[in-house]
């Protein structure tokens, strides 16, 4: 069976960076599932589709023309790597992610990322729904303050404007929506290892995940 490391957790917990580096260290493929929800949100907004129109949004998701390269993400041939990171796209993604039909429409696309020698999958429901067979499941989290600070730096670094108070509120609302939704809510998978990165550097978090993976692969 092709090995999967599922890394789930709340927004701005550092999942993306940690997951990307773990994938690189192991030579595994990397799935940023949040990007798929963000791409759908961006496509809907660009095409003038109402975000509460579940049927049209879900159709849009199943016909997305996306391409992932090592560093960039293309939608309809256009580089949208930075555009999908805008805070309003994240908020829109979190809203449409509550739709069961949209989640179903994105399942095959996500399974398509599974290739030898292995996959690191990052999201909210990787270990619970999409890759329940994962050899290692991690719930990566951090305090809301640490996450707001990271998101602030990330947004400023990408040339977006950002405001700490608004970000804190935004993260709290997003946590609420992601954990309280009826379908595939954010929660630690059964058997998941919880990693709180509030006081860890990226290198320390990556080292811990790799150590757990070594442990899991030698005991199987």
Q: Which residues bind ligand DC (CB under 6 A)?
A: 11, 33-34, 37-38, 90, 93-94, 97, 123-125, 174, 178
Omega of the bond leading into 117 within 30 degrees of 0 (cis): yes
Please name which of 141, 113, 144, 142 lies closest in space to residue 5, comparing C-alpha atoms.
113
Nearer to ligand DC among residue 88 and residue 215 (C-beta) = 88
Closest approach, Cβ 41 to ligand DC, in A, equals 8
Closest approach, Cβ 157 to ligand DC, in A, equals 16
Closest approach, Cβ 38 to ligand DC, in A, equals 5
> In the β-sheet with 193-196, what is the strand arrangement from edge to edge?
29-32, 119-123, 4-8, 136-141, 193-196
Q: Integer distance in angstroms from the first to the last C-alpha of the chain? A: 12
Q: Rounded distance, CA 76 to CA 40, Å?
A: 12
Nearer to ligand DC among residue 189 and residue 220 (C-beta) = 189
Nearer to ligand DC among residue 192 and residue 215 (C-beta) = 192
Q: Rounded distance, CA 120 to CA 19, Å?
A: 6
Closest approach, Cβ 34 to ligand DC, in A, equals 2
Closest approach, Cβ 219 to ligand DC, in A, equals 27
Nearer to ligand DC among residue 94 and residue 208 (C-beta) = 94
Nearer to ligand DC among residue 23 and residue 215 (C-beta) = 23
């Amino acid at each position: 069976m092709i090995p999967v490391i599922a890394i789930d957790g709340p927004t701005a917990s550092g999942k993306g960076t940690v997951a990307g580096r773990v994938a690189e260290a192991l030579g595994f493929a990397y799935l940023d599932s949040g990007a798929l929800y963000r791409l759908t949100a961006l496509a809907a907004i660009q095409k003038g589709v109402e975000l509460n129109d579940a049927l049209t949004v879900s159709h849009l998701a199943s016909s997305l023309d996306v391409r992932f390269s090592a560093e960039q993400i293309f939608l309809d041939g256009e580089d949208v790597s930075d555009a999908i990171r805008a805070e309003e796209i994240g908020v829109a993604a979190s809203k449409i992610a509550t739709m069961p039909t949209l989640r179903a429409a994105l399942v095959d696309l996500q399974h398509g990322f599974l290739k030898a020698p292995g996959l690191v999958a990052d999201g909210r429901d990787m270990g619970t729904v999409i890759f329940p067979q994962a050899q290692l499941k991690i719930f990566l989290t951090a305090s809301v303050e640490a996450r707001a600070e990271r998101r602030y730096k990330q947004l400023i670094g990408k040339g977006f404007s950002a405001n700490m108070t608004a970000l804190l509120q935004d993260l709290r609302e997003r946590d609420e929506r992601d954990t309280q939704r009826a379908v595939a809510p954010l929660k630690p998978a059964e058997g998941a290892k919880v990693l709180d990165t509030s006081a860890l550097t990226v290198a320390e978090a990556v080292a811990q995940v790799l150590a757990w993976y070594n442990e899991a692969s030698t005991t199987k």
